[in-house]
Structures are given as structure tokens and as C-alpha cells.
Amino acid sequence: MTEFREIRFEPIDLNTVSTHSGHLAVFVDTSDDAQGQSGIVQRIDRLTRGLIERAAQSVAWNKLADGECLRLNSPAGVNAEAIHLMRLPRRASRDLARQAGAALARSVGDAELTVLAGRQRNIAEIAFGLMLRSYAFTDHKTADQDDSGAFTLMVDNVDSAVSKFIPLAAVAEGVFFTRDLTNEPANVLTTTEFANRLKSLEEAGLAVEIIDEDQMATLGMNALLCVGQGSVAPSKMVVMRWNGGVEGEAPLALVGKGVVFDTGGISLKPAGGMEEMTMDMGGAGVVAGTMLTLARRGAAANVVGLVGLVENMPSGNATRPGDVVTSMKGDTIEVINTDAEGRLVLADVLWYAQETFAPAAVVDLATLTGACIIALGHENAAVFSNDDVFANALLRAAEREQEGAWRMPLGKSYDDLLKSPIADMKNIGGRPAGAITAAQFLQRFVKNDVPWAHIDIAGVARVPKDLPLSPKGCTGWGVMTLNRLVAERFETEED
């Protein structure tokens, strides 16, 4: 797993600040009611012979918004290579504090950084932003990788900052785990290697079970198995359990699509961009990262995470367009397009989750359709649900974590597009409303009394540009949202 940059919290010591190597960061209070600047800013300004005051009067400084910083290189009077001057109200909101931390991480790069935070509000959130934005996946680079410097936050109250940061560090670990999984090439993250990495989460306190092809065949999971039958990689289902809530209380079930590589099968994808199909297991990655976060922070909830791991390859044994398979539920499916494989995987895992665990609610996540990207771009995940209350709770959690999500419709007219002349249903409904018909397909494998949400993360699991809290590439979208959903809706309150 990608190593965290070391985060340290230390008491503020202005007497030694001039001797610090690496980079320094100071906050300029931009509150409307600011009564002058802090002693920290005044001390740095004196040491640097008025550099801070001059910078604060510059055109570049005045063009910045709150949460952005100005880098001042080679400052006189201190040993630091650079000073990062951050515009931030002292009582900045949680989101703005995260943004400020991320901005510092971008500005600093790999250098060691000392943040003179003092009494700044939401210091733990600043550290969280630093962590998330400092992520870099370099496991397969052979060039020497210089060790990244530590982040030291000098604060007035170390104990308070540490206690607030610990649960955020658990979230960051889950996000990093998801990003790592989603970034891995398919020749490294095979179905077997994926299952082994999830098995290692037992160290964090999860109970993990790996279900093999023979067991799934006995269960009748032919929809899932037909996807992987063209590959030499064995299909697997992995079940991760966290029992932190009341004994016997129905769990929340998280279900993830884990297609470690998707060629499209016999319905072969175009060559251009196919290399990005290493991320087609993004839904399973989010489920895994969320389960790790819940275990690390000791969530007071019962949650089960289930992922179907397959590889979709063309071969003499691959499923053909026109084949009919029987799902675990017993419904028959005419496979019109073998590139609509994720819903076949999810159908059986969804049914297994309900039959085995009788969950209080179900969320499935998948990089399911290109149609989702056409509809919402890379800004929002598409959310579909059979329950307004549950959907609103999920959307509220996403909004609070600043992870874009937008609810999409369901309806019988879309469902009718899945009619097959020879089976109970087709696996696609044609090009119109492709993301919706995919959700309609999945809804057929959700019991009527089970609150359910399907999240199509095709556009947000991997993005082509930098985001505030992540570099371009794999984002780990959903770990923060699902963690908050669990905390706000499923955790057991202590007496």
C-alpha cells in the first residue's frame, strides 16, 4: 500500500522557527473581523525583514481566494527553502480547511513542511487535506524515488489535534487503499491477488471469506460465472464482515463490481482507451476501502462488504452474444452484449447478499456504463434508488463530503426495454438511457422490501484532471461518502 507522508503534531515553538529546514507555511487571517495578524505571522514577518507584509500587498496575493497560498522562495532570515503564505480565516469551515491542506500539499511537492498552525480552527482537517492530496502511486516506477518529507503541524493543543485526526486518518487509509487497488495494472491485480489483498484485511479486524468458482456454481451464480469463463483467471467472490454494532442487528450490505480487466469479451471494445479498463474493479475497490476505514475507526455498526472478482476476456470458452444464463435468483438472462458484464456480476452478488445476510439496506457500486459519463461527465456519480429516504441520506452524505452525486430516475418504461423474446430479460436495453436501463436490470435482483441504492461511478472513479483532494487518475470516490452514511444512519448510539 502507498505509504502515508508522516504527519506530526507538535507544540508551537517560535524560538526555533528560523532554523527549520524544508518549507514553512503560515496562515493569514482573512476574516472580516480579523483584529490584526497572529503572533506567528508577525514573528515570521520580522525574521524575513517584512517579506510577509510586502507579499500581502502584492497583486498575486490579492488574486488568491481563501484556501489558496502564495509560495515565496528563498526567504531571507530563515533556513527554510520557501514560505507558503495561506489565505484562510482563523475559523475556517471544515471544507475550506481541507482545501487549504490540499493546496499546501500541491505547493510543497515532496519537500518537508512545517505548518505554523497555532490556534487555527479545524487543524485536523488541514492535515487530512495534506494527506489526501499528497497521494502518488509509484509502485511500478524504477527510477529512484526520493523520500517525501514529513508534514509537521505546530499547534497550541497537540492532544486535541491528535484526537480529532485519528478518525480522519482511518478514512485516508481507506481512500489510499481504494486508489491503490484501482491504479494497479491487471497483470498485477489478478482476481487471485485481489482476493489475497482483501484477505489481508483480517489484520484490521475484518472477517474475510473467499468463495471460489465451485462454491459459486453450487449456489447457482451462473450470471457472475459466465463473465469470467473466457479467462484463465478464476472468478471469486469475497465477503468482508465488520460486526461493530448490536449483535444480531441486520447489517448494511455494500456490493462492488470487481472486473479486474474488461476487454468487452466477444463484444470487444475498441483498442483506444482499453488500457484504462484496469479500473473496472473500482466499485469493489470502494467497498474494500470503506470496510478498511470502518474497521480502523471501530465503527459501531454491522456492515458486510461483498465483491465479485472476474476478468472479462475473449476466448474459445467465452460467453457469446445470444447465450442464455440462469442467475442465482433463478431468472434467465439473454446476453445480448458481453460488454454489459458488470450487471451480470452484481446480479448474483446482490442476490447472495440478501439471501445470506438479510441486510437492512444495500448499496452497490460499479464503473458500470459509459452512458453515465455522457450524462454527468466526471463531476458526479449517478445514484439510483428504490427508496427516497435512503437515497436522500446517501446524497446528503456525499454532499457533506464534497463528493459529487446526482440522483437519476427509474421507471417501468425503462424496464420494458429489457424484454427478451427467449428469456426473462436481456442484459442491455439499447443505447438510449443506458445508465438507467442498467439500474433497472439490477433492481430486478433487489427484494421489494429492501432499501437499495445503485451508484454508477464510471465517471468519478478515474478522472482526467486534478481535483481539490486528489491528483488526476484514480480518486477513491465513495469511501468518504459511505463512511459518513454509516456514521449518520447505521451506527449504534452509545448509552
For 188-246, how does the pLDDT look when each residue is reduced to its tens digit (9 = 90+)? 999 999 999 999 999 999 999 999 999 999 999 999 999 999 999 999 999 999 999 99
pLDDT band at 495 (very low <50, low <70, confident <90, very high): very low
Task: Tell me the torsion sign for CA atoms 376, 382, 387, 389.
Answer: negative
Q: Terminus-to-terminus CA distance in the chain, angstroms?
A: 37
**165-170 average pLDDT score:** 98
pTM of the shown model: 0.97
pLDDT band at 144 (very low <50, low <70, confident <90, very high): low
- Over residues 434-484, the pLDDT tens digits come to 999 999 999 999 999 999 999 999 999 999 999 999 999 999 999 999 999
Is 348 in contact with 223 (CB distance < 8 Å)? yes
| H-type alpha helices, 80-206 | 94-108, 123-133, 158-183, 191-199
Place of cell 529512484: 144
Catalytic, out of 179, 236, 257, 343: 343
* Chain centre distance of CA 61: 33
Q: What are the cell numbers at 161?
A: 489535534
Which residue would you say has higher pLDDT here, 258 or 33?
258
Judged against a pLDDT cut of 70, whether residue 146 lies above it is answered with no
164 as an active site residue: the answer is no
* Of 308, 238, 256, 241, the residue nearest 455 (C-alpha): 256
- CATH 3.40.220.10 for domain 7-156, yes or no, is yes
- Separation between Cα atoms, residue 449 and residue 242, nearest integer Å: 23
**How many CB atoms are located within 10 Å of the residue 268 CB?**
13
pLDDT band at 36 (very low <50, low <70, confident <90, very high): low
**Average per-residue pLDDT in the chain?**
96
* Of 309, 365, 348, the residue nearest 444 (C-alpha): 348
Is 29 in contact with 4 (CB distance < 8 Å)? no
- Separation between Cα atoms, residue 213 and residue 221, nearest integer Å: 9
- Separation between Cα atoms, residue 82 and residue 264, nearest integer Å: 50
Judged against a pLDDT cut of 90, whether residue 71 lies above it is answered with yes
Question: May I ask the CATH class of domain 171-490?
Answer: alpha beta
**390-418 average pLDDT score:** 97
- Using DSSP, state whether 299 is helix, strand or coil: coil
- Over residues 129-138, the pLDDT tens digits come to 999 999 999 9
Catalytic, out of 106, 197, 269, 447: 269
Is 474 in contact with 462 (CB distance < 8 Å)? yes
Assess whether the region 7-156 and the region 171-490 belong to the same CATH fold: no
Is 415 in contact with 384 (CB distance < 8 Å)? no
Judged against a pLDDT cut of 80, whether residue 145 lies above it is answered with no
Give the CA distances from residue 165 to residues 7, 176, 294, 470, in Å, rounded to whole numbers and listed in that order: 10, 16, 15, 19
**How many CB atoms are located within 10 Å of the residue 152 CB?**
19
**Residue boundaries of the structural domains of the chain:** 7-156, 171-490
- Separation between Cα atoms, residue 297 and residue 167, nearest integer Å: 6
pLDDT at 356: 98
Strand partners, 109: none
Judged against a pLDDT cut of 90, whether residue 35 lies above it is answered with no
343 as an active site residue: the answer is yes
Judged against a pLDDT cut of 50, whether residue 153 lies above it is answered with yes
pLDDT at 93: 96
Is 486 in contact with 294 (CB distance < 8 Å)? yes
pLDDT at 33: 74
- Using DSSP, state whether 350 is helix, strand or coil: helix
